[in-house]
Copies of this chain bind each other. A is one copy, B any other.
Amino acid sequence: MSRRNAAALRVEQAAPIFAALGDQTRLALVSRLGSSGPLSITRLTEGSNVTRQAVTKHLQVLAGAGLVRDEWHGRERLWVFEAARLAEARRCLDVISSQWDDALSRLKDFVEK
């Protein structure tokens, strides 16, 4: 397999992460969990203008993408932000950006010659 295709494959792996982040409510949840630390569902529902059930569903989507993790404490279920997973998404964007920079410098070389 060519180098390009290998890189492309790795990049495409990140699609589910972006899909999970690609909803305003979910992105807000992630941001909130990231800045406030672990929170329960009811706490997260306050300040969100949707039902608790909707929040639950969103959290499950985020968990499916590996962006959050849950921890039970008695009757409370705390949701914890997973920084490592977000870092993967960052790396993906970095790869695309640097590919672009390379393409630009190749073009520059080409024009100069």
Which A residues have a C-beta under 8 Å from some C-beta of B?
4, 7-8, 11-12, 14-24, 26-28, 30-32, 34-37, 81, 83, 86-87, 89-90, 93-97, 99-100, 102-103, 107
Contact = CB atoms under 8 A, between A and B. Distances in A.
A15 B23 contact: yes
B34 A8 contact: no
A26 B15 CA distance: 9
A interface: dominant SS: helix
Q: How many copies does the complex hold?
A: 2
A22 B28 contact: no
A47 to B, nearest CB: 9
Nearest to A22: B19
A112 to B, nearest CB: 16
A86 B93 contact: yes
B22 A22 contact: yes
Contacts of A36: 103
